[in-house]
Amino acid sequence: MNRLTNTLENLKNKSEKALVAYLVAGDPDIETTLELMMMLVDSGVDIIEIGVPFTDPIAEGPIIQKAHDRALKNNVTLKSIFEMAQKYRENDNKTPLVLMGYLNTFIFNKTLIEDNKNNVIDSVLVVDIPGELNLRDYGVYNPNINTISLISPTTKKDRIKSIAKNSSGFVYYVTLRGVTGASNLDVNEISNNVEEIKKHASVPTLAGFGIKSPEDAKLLSQHSDGVIIGSSIVQMIEEGSQSKEFDRIRTYITDIKKAIS
Partner 1 sequence: MKSDNINLPDKNGFFGEYGGKFVPETLMYALEELETTYEKLKNNNEFKKQFYKDLSEFVGRPSPLYFAERLTKHYGTGSIWLKREDLNHTGAHKINNTIGQILLAKYMGKKRIIAETGAGQHGVATATVAARLGLECHIYMGSEDVQRQSLNVYRIKLLGAQVHSVDSGSATLKDALNEALRDWVTNVDDTYYIIGSVTGPHPYPMIVRDFNSVVGEELISQSKELFNSMPDAIVACVGGGSNAMGAFYPFIKFNETRLIGVEAGGEGVETGEHAAPLNDGKPGVLHGALSYLMQDDSGQVKGTKSVSAGLDYPGVGPEHSWLKDSGRAEYVAVSDDAALKAFHDVSELEGIIPALETAHAFAYLDILMKEFDKNSNIIVNVSGRGDKDINTVANIDGIKI
Q: Residue 49 catalytic?
A: yes
Q: Let me know: does 211 contact 234? Beta carbons within 8 Å.
A: no
Q: Rule CB under 8 A: is residue 152 a binding residue for partner 1? A: yes
Q: Rule CB under 8 A: is residue 109 a binding residue for partner 1? A: yes
Q: How many residues bind partner 1 (CB under 8 A)?
A: 42
Exactly one of 88, 102, 170, 252 binds partner 1 (CB under 8 A); that residue is: 102
Pick 102 or 246: Cβ nearer partner 1:
102
Q: Rule CB under 8 A: is residue 78 a binding residue for partner 1? A: yes
Pick 2 or 109: Cβ nearer partner 1:
109
Q: Rule CB under 8 A: is residue 215 a binding residue for partner 1? A: no
Q: Rule CB under 8 A: is residue 111 a binding residue for partner 1? A: no
Q: Which helix (H) or strand (E) holds 237?
A: helix 231-240
Q: Rule CB under 8 A: is residue 107 a binding residue for partner 1? A: yes
Tell me which stretch binds partner 1 (CB under 8 A): 25-33, 107-115, 195-203, 232-240: 107-115
Instruction: Give dist(CA 10, CA 18) in Å, integer.
Output: 10
Q: What type of residue sits at position 166? A: N
Nearest in space to 27 (alpha carbons), one of 216, 206, 240: 240
Q: What type of residue sits at position 147? A: T
Q: Let me know: does 103 contact 129? Beta carbons within 8 Å.
A: yes
Exactly one of 8, 113, 179, 217 binds partner 1 (CB under 8 A); that residue is: 179
Q: Rule CB under 8 A: is residue 151 a binding residue for partner 1? A: yes
Tell me which stretch binds partner 1 (CB under 8 A): 40-48, 50-58, 236-244, 247-255: 50-58
Catalytic one among 49, 195, 196, 239?
Answer: 49
With vertex at residue 152, the alpha carbon angle to CA 133 and CA 45, rounded to the nearest 5 degrees, is 90
Q: What type of residue sits at position 36? A: L
Q: Rule CB under 8 A: is residue 99 a binding residue for partner 1? A: no
Provide the H-helix boundaries in 55-181: 62-73, 78-89, 103-108, 110-115, 157-166
Q: Residue 189 catalytic?
A: no
Nearest in space to 146 (alpha carbons), one of 136, 154, 137: 136
Instruction: Give dist(CA 149, CA 127) in Å, integer.
Output: 8
Q: Which of residues 120-149 bind partner 1 (CB under 8 A)?
A: 127-131, 149
Q: Rule CB under 8 A: is residue 117 a binding residue for partner 1? A: no
Its sign, for the CA torsion 71, 182, 173, 233, is positive
**C-alpha of 25 from chain center:** 12
Exactly one of 15, 154, 188, 242 binds partner 1 (CB under 8 A); that residue is: 154
**C-alpha of 197 from chain center:** 18
Catalytic one among 31, 60, 90, 239?
Answer: 60
Q: Rule CB under 8 A: is residue 55 a binding residue for partner 1? A: yes
Residue 47 backbone dihedrals phi, psi, to 5 degrees? -140, 140
Query: What residues are labeled active site?
Result: 49, 60
Which residues of the shown chain bind partner 1 in the complex (CB under 8 A)? Answer: 54-62, 65, 69, 72, 77-79, 102-105, 107-109, 127-131, 149-156, 159, 163, 174, 177-179, 182
